[in-house]
Amino acid sequence: MSEKKKMRATIPEEEYMFPGTVDCQGCGAAYAMRLALKALGPKTMVVIPACCWSIIAGPFPTSALKMPIYHTAFETAAAVASGVKAGLSIREKEATVLAWAGDGGTFDIGVQSLSAAAERNEDFIYVCYDNEAYMNTGIQRSSATPWGAWTTTTPRKHPKDRPKKNMMEIMAAHRIPYAASATVGHPEDFVRKLKKAREIRGTRFFHVLATCPTGWRSPPELMLEVPRLAVETCVFPLYEIDNGVYSISKKPKEKLPVTEYLKVQGRFRHLTDQQIQYIQEHVDETWELLLKKEKLGRLF
């Protein structure tokens, strides 16, 4: 084989997560952590509030990770991470502090402490692995649940009737140095962004779409495929906001209709054609707005 044809792995081979975790089959959240730690490397400390990862990380006396973990209360990831980083800086210890929370702990109960930490520009990476509902407690709706989705608290007769909260925009409004969206279906993109973020100081926010076959009623073997469809349909665009500059990481060559994404998930099974049309229109508008923002250059 000639030198030219040699493939270079973009994802580090080192593993910082032990096998045998107790996640569901096809869990995007578990894969997201595995990728994140590969990208951030061994000098990382993890703060985990109540979420699926409180379980996945393993019960006492086991641990799924090779790095220190602090398990904390639901709404406190950003506040505890602020304290950990302050303590480490007093001790003059170098480490990337990674706050790792679900959508409930980020969009809902943890939004206050996260907003405050972002306003203070605390020096940590905050990853929200978004599975779009309270999955650990049994699929209850959160403010990250998309319009029209079934959950155990938004039954099919009255599915979610409000759009998903736009967390990226909320974080950008704090004028933090870096925010990025990612999915578990795009590992290279996620790893690249994390490596970039690792070198930036201040609050860095990641919004990661993490497949949840259990809650989305999608086949576990489609763990990678479902978020790829989310990107190809522009339901979940991949982009960065780097010091106020928007850049879209992946523009679909041919934007797929949202049905391609919706139809592989049982949580959208009840939707009528009219409702799907409404989703399509909303997705189109949001995508157009993002394209415009990208053209505007530095926004803050």
Partner 1 sequence: MSTVKVITGNHAASFGARDSRAEVIAAYPITPQTQIVELLSEFCADGTLKAKFIKVESEHSAMAACIGASAAGVRAYTATSAHGLALMHEMLHWAANGRHPVVMANVNRAMGPPWSIWTDQNDSLAQRDTGWLQFYCESNQEVYDTTMIAFKACEQVLLPGMLVLDAFILSHTYEPVEMPDQELIDEFLPPFDPPYKMDLDDARAFGALTTPEWYMELRYLIQEAHEKALVTVREVEKEFGETFGRYYGTLELYRCDDAEEVILIAGSTASTAKDAVDIMRKGGRKIGLARIKLFRPFPNEEIRDIASRVNKMIVIDRNVSFGNQGIFFNEIKASLYSAKNRPPVYGFVAGLGGRDMKIDDITGIVEQADTCDIEEILWWGVKL
The answer to the question of residue 27 lying near partner 1 (CB under 8 A) is no
- Candidates 11, 24, 116, 170: give the one binding partner 1 (CB under 8 A): 116
Q: Is 42 exposed, middle or buried (0-12, 13-18, 19+ CB in 10 A)?
A: exposed
The answer to the question of residue 39 lying near partner 1 (CB under 8 A) is no
Radius of gyration for the alpha carbons in the chain, expressed in angstroms and rounded: 19
Q: Shortest approach of partner 1 to residue 70 CB, angstroms?
A: 5
Residue 275 host element (H or E): helix 273-295
CA distance 299 to 35: 30
Structure tokens at 13: 């081979």
Q: Shortest approach of partner 1 to residue 80 CB, angstroms?
A: 4
Q: Shortest approach of partner 1 to residue 231 CB, angstroms?
A: 33
Per CB under 8 A, the segment of 41-49, 140-148, 208-216, 251-259 that binds partner 1 is: 41-49
The answer to the question of residue 201 lying near partner 1 (CB under 8 A) is no
x/- map, 71-110, partner 1, by CB under 8 A: xxx-xx-xxxxxxxxxxxxxx-x-x---------------
Nearer to partner 1, 118 or 229 (CB): 118
CA distance 230 to 85: 34
- Candidates 28, 51, 54, 241: give the one binding partner 1 (CB under 8 A): 54
CA distance 85 to 68: 13
Dihedral class, residue 41 (left if φ above 0, else alpha if ψ from -120 to 50, else beta): left
Give the amino acid at 95: A
The answer to the question of residue 62 lying near partner 1 (CB under 8 A) is yes
CA distance 73 to 79: 10
Site for partner 1, rule CB under 8 A: 42-43, 45, 47, 54-55, 57-63, 65-73, 75-76, 78-91, 93, 95, 112-113, 115-116, 119-120
